[in-house]
Amino acid sequence: MDLPDDDQGFLRDLVKTSRQKTHHVAWTDRDGTVRQTVLSQAEVVRLNILAQRLGISKAELLRQAAHIPVAKAVAKPPLA
């Protein structure tokens, strides 16, 4: 495949993740919408660690995370 290393790495990671067992976490978004998030094994382990550290469920942690503001992108100078 004639793609840059970044793109090949991205595709390799997609294939690797698709071969792993996925975990579904149901939670309620800040607007009351019921959501279902699909996580890879590595993501669910990290989510479990964070939830245990805070003493809350994975669903509650995702609900609270929905209130974290999105980081503003750094403005790039216009192309000349």
What confidence tens digit (pLDDT) does each residue in 10-42 have? 999 888 878 888 899 999 999 999 999 999 888
In a domain, 71, yes or no: no
**Long-range contact list for 53-61, CB < 8 A, 24+ apart?**
58/25, 58/27, 59/25, 59/26, 59/27, 59/28, 60/27
Q: Which of 21, 39, 37, 41 is nearest to 29 (CA)?
A: 37
Q: Supply the pLDDT for residue 71.
A: 81
In a domain, 72, yes or no: no
In a domain, 77, yes or no: no
Residue of higher predicted confidence among 74 and 8? 8
In a domain, 24, yes or no: yes
Token pair recorded at residue 75: 């403005």
Q: Supply the pLDDT for residue 1.
A: 75
Q: Supply the pLDDT for residue 80.
A: 62
Q: Residue 24 and residue 68: Cα distance in Å, rounded?
A: 21
In a domain, 6, yes or no: no
Instruction: Give the count of domains, the chain.
Output: 1
In a domain, 55, yes or no: yes
Q: Which residue range is the domain that position 54 belongs to?
A: 16-65
Q: Which of 61, 70, 69, 66 is nearest to 33 (CA)?
A: 66
Percent of the chain exceeding pLDDT 70 equals 99
